[in-house]
Structure 1
Amino acid sequence: MTGLVQYKFLFMAQLLLGEGMFLLRLERRGCFGVRAVGCAAALLVIAGVFPIVQYTAWYVSFLFLALFVCTLPAMRLCFDEPWENLLFCGIAGYTVQHLAYLLFTVIGEVTQMHLLFGGVPDPYSSAAVDLSMFSPVQIIFYVNCYFLVYACTFELFDRKLKGNHDLHLGRTNLICLSGLLIAADVIFNMITNYYTTASRASLLLERGYNVLVCVLILALLYNQLSRRELKAELDGVQHILEQGKKQYELAKQNIDLINMKYHDLKHRSEALSARGAAALEEKAELDRALEGYSALVKTGSEVLDVILSEKMLLCRERGIEMTCMADGQGLGFIRTHHLYALLGNAIDNAVEAVEGLPQEKRVISLFVRSLGNLAHIHVENYYEGPLALRGGLPATTKGEKDYHGYGMPSMRAIAEQYGGTLSISAEGGIFLLDIIMAQQGDAGDS
């Protein structure tokens, strides 16, 4: 059996493994196991029966590119994803397979393995191949080389694919450019195999060029995922800020209504006290009801008053003790919706952390103070369980990812906008959050 006939099966198996690494996180169709096994078997059959018309660089390039194209409808049968996503995974998988082959070849040429351990069969020739020509050292090196390339690429890309929850993998034009580059690299590699034989230096130079093209393709695809991840984070932060504007207005209206009702009931309580002993029981009941609203705070900042009043009522409802020492007189340089996003997210996160804890740990401490042109916000709360960090910030534990997990990034973005920092630490089961911002001129209240 000729080298190319044998290599077609090995190439298809390597290609399917490479593509599978990137497809792992995508949405599968029903009866996935049956579909996957059937498609893999069909693709191996196609690889076996694909005709070898001639042993030239152009036709052999066409053969392997055609086998790659055949995997695309197979992926469509197994995964419920748009074509752009499948093309991304296909090109990335083909690039990894080609890179592993090139690195094995280059290292073998540099070390002159064919001289040390016997001849190396040419997979693209029409000559018959004797598998016994491979020494155990060559086989071990071959397997390890492919394993390392595949494993390192999987480790690098899988972290990005995990975070790509909506599975829109990027812009189609970059995917097409990557496809053209890998096609050109395959063709150039075939030309190298068939025509560059006289000069070992030229052969190594051309092999090195092919390796660099593969690395460039993977870098483009990785950068595309990174840009997609950054865009998703930016959209999430923007959504948080927009919601902050609406939530503050709603909170202000609610607190204003509560204040009006509180004063009305306070006047009624005073009126009842003038009616003598007959109204004492009704007055006592009314005073007990008013106690829940007597904690509405006055900090010197109307915005801070609204935020803290709303959150203290929330904590009271959930049986959480919230202690607060706040001086809002120096916070005027922070825009209303920015301050709401900062404190609202900080307190909401603390509430979520403590509401499932024993009563003695259902405590949140908040400190807000101004030092010259600096504003300092400090939040403490108990927590239990592991603290997973992502980019130096706590990762969301919520199953639904849409716009969840962007509270902390939005808070950090706001702090940095005011020339400040956001830092977190945890010690002895207590979570500590510190935000420091500096006045940068008139920020306005837009």
Structure 2
Amino acid sequence: MINTLIGLMGAYAFQGFNLILTYLECYICIALFARKLGRRDFFPVRVVMTLLDGCAVCFLLAIWYTEARSLPVRVLCYSTISGLNFIALLFCWKDDLSETLLAFCSGMATYQFTNKLYPLLQNFLGINDRETNSLLHGGPGKATNLDWVVFFGFHLLAFFILSTVFTPKNKLVHNQRTARNVIVLSISTVALVNILICISRVYEGESFMLNLVVKVLYVGLSLTILTICAGIFSQSEQEQQINILHQLWRQDRAQFESVKANMDLINMKCHDIKHILDKIEDKLTCEEAASLREAIQFYDANIKTGNEVLDVVLCEKAMTCQKNGISFSCMADGTGLEFLTPVQTYSLFGNIIDNAVEAVKALPPEERVVSLTCHEEEGALVIEESNYFSGGLELDHGLPATSKGDVSRHGFGTKSIQYIAGQYGGTMDIKVLGNMFFLTIRFPTKPRKG
């Protein structure tokens, strides 16, 4: 069937088939990377239109190149094919320009990788890729239907694997640096595919070794482009997470200042109430006086760890635990935490205890237990927390996955803890034994901010 279609093209069959096949393969590659982009209305109709129009333009280009064969014409032909694919991408899909360009670059790199890997395998098998497209036998001659099945099967499988591996899971975070990187990458990719490839094609037939070197070079360059595209998404995601962490820390700063002011006010009121109680205690029953003194003792329970910020956050969380019927035990020496900023101290211990409270507050009363220690051990400052939990614990890259619906805003408590630890050369470890959860943070005794 393929040979019949080639025969219908007449004198322009060779170039027509090559250009149309290049257009279709690039189209498939780009479409695989664009499958998570938004689709425009009447998407199937748009796809058919771009396929038919693209093939028609490619055949016209084949006529031009056959009649005026030269390197500049070849470069213009393949540049036009890249332009047709980009226009098709914009015509069929709708999304941010940066994500659209990355899908285009990834698709073009995938096409180039596969387009060079297949003949490279032929060469390793002793088959001249200029004589046949067969991967099963060498020598000139028309390709059989089986040869075409192997050819297309190899290419489609490679397209699918590469698009699965390198297609990002999340959306791109848009900023000026990301946009600049995407534009530079797009220009470089187009230059690679349309200029260097055309030029190298002229000279790669001069020797077998040069042929191999050129193919290996472009396989490596194509993988590099795919890796860079994936890296841009990864970098933008990390920047987004860091921005969210800093935003949460700003909220923690405001909350810390508010809590500290409230704690100071409560301590002053408790001090005043003590004096009043001393004067009127003889007018109260024993039970009433004991109840009032117990309440005063709780609200006036100044936890002294040697670190003022840690004292505030532990007092606040102790009240939260009492409100939820949670037994909170704490043995903390905060004198070694001076390397942390006040906001980092508040955020670190606040997130540790908040996560624990969230885990135990729905458990039976006997399992509503949270334990926290902070001490020096074997040349390191160690923070340890343990609590019960129910159900399975799903880990995402070594961190507990959030159980809340809005994953873009939740799940940052543990990430914040890990980020703060990493800033000072520390580590965070999570262990689960049965229905017990253990969190250990270890800082070097003389941490340096990374």
Q: TM above 0.5, one fold?
A: yes
Equivalent in the alignment of 1:426 = 432
Given the two structures, how large is their TM-score scaled by the length of structure 1? Answer: 0.81
Residues 269-280 of structure 1: pairs in structure 2 closer than 5 A? 269-276=277-284
- Which amino acid in structure 2 is aligned with residue 139 of structure 1? V
Q: Is the 8 A contact 2:173 2:240 kept in 1?
A: no
Q: Is the 8 A contact 2:389 2:435 kept in 1?
A: yes
- Which amino acid in structure 1 is aligned with residue 382 of structure 2? H
Residues 258-297 of structure 1: pairs in structure 2 closer than 5 A? 258-276=266-284, 283=289, 286=292, 290=296, 293=299, 297=303
Work out the CA distance in 2 between the residues paired with 1:357 and 1:22.
45
Equivalent in the alignment of 1:225 = 233
Equivalent in the alignment of 1:314 = 320
2:67 matches 1:72: no
Residues 425-444 of structure 1: pairs in structure 2 closer than 5 A? 425-440=431-446
Equivalent in the alignment of 2:212 = 204
Structure 2 residue corresponding to 1:383, chosen from 389, 403, 411:
389
1:382 Cα offset (Å) = 2.1
Structure 2 residue corresponding to 1:143, chosen from 139, 143, 153:
153
- Per the alignment, in what secondary structure is the counterpart of residue 253 of structure 2? helix
Work out the CA distance in 2 between the residues paired with 1:388 and 1:148.
32
Residues 90-239 of structure 1: pairs in structure 2 closer than 5 A? 90-113=104-127, 119-120=132-133, 133-137=143-147, 139-140=149-150, 142-155=152-165, 157-158=166-167, 161-164=168-171, 166=173, 171-186=178-193, 187-193=195-201, 196-239=204-247
- Which amino acid in structure 2 is aligned with residue 15 of structure 1? C
Work out the CA distance in 1 between the residues paired with 2:113 and 2:284.
93
Taking a change above 3 Å as real, the CA distance of residues 212 and 369 of structure 1, as seen in their structure-2 partners, is: closer
Taking a change above 3 Å as real, the CA distance of residues 368 and 212 of structure 1, as seen in their structure-2 partners, is: closer
Equivalent in the alignment of 1:36 = 43
- Which amino acid in structure 2 is aligned with residue 392 of structure 1? G
- Per the alignment, in what secondary structure is the counterpart of residue 334 of structure 2? coil
Deviations 1:217-274 (A, max 9, x none): 2233233333323333433443344444333222211211222233333444433322
Q: Is the 8 A contact 2:172 2:233 kept in 1?
A: no
Equivalent in the alignment of 2:368 = 362
Given the two structures, how large is their TM-score scaled by the length of structure 2? Answer: 0.80
1:44 Cα offset (Å) = 0.4
Q: Is the 8 A contact 1:35 1:77 kept in 2?
A: no
Equivalent in the alignment of 2:6 = none
Percent identity at matched positions? 28
Deviations 1:87-109 (A, max 9, x none): 12111111111211111122223
- Which amino acid in structure 2 is aligned with residue 346 of structure 1? I
2:101 matches 1:87: yes
- Which amino acid in structure 2 is aligned with residue 38 of structure 1? V
Residue correspondences, number: 424
Work out the CA distance in 2 between the residues paired with 1:230 and 1:104.
36
Q: Is the 8 A contact 1:377 1:434 kept in 2?
A: yes
Report which stretch shifted further, 53-62 or 86-95: 53-62
Q: Is the 8 A contact 2:383 2:441 kept in 1?
A: yes
Work out the CA distance in 1 between the residues paired with 2:152 and 2:126.
14
Q: Is the 8 A contact 1:354 1:363 kept in 2?
A: yes
Work out the CA distance in 2 between the residues paired with 1:6 and 1:442.
63
Q: Is the 8 A contact 2:379 2:444 kept in 1?
A: yes
Work out the CA distance in 2 between the residues paired with 1:89 and 1:441.
43
Point out where structure 1 has 5 or more consecutive residues left out of the alignment: 122-129
Q: Is the 8 A contact 1:419 1:440 kept in 2?
A: no
Equivalent in the alignment of 2:5 = none
Alpha-carbon RMSD across the aligned residues, in angstroms, is: 3.5
Structure 2 residue corresponding to 1:407, chosen from 399, 409, 413:
413
1:85 Cα offset (Å) = 2.0
Residues 294-305 of structure 1: pairs in structure 2 closer than 5 A? 297-305=303-311
- Which amino acid in structure 1 is aligned with residue 189 of structure 2? I
Q: Is the 8 A contact 1:196 1:203 kept in 2?
A: yes
- Which amino acid in structure 1 is aligned with residue 198 of structure 2? M
- Per the alignment, in what secondary structure is the counterpart of residue 65 of structure 2? coil
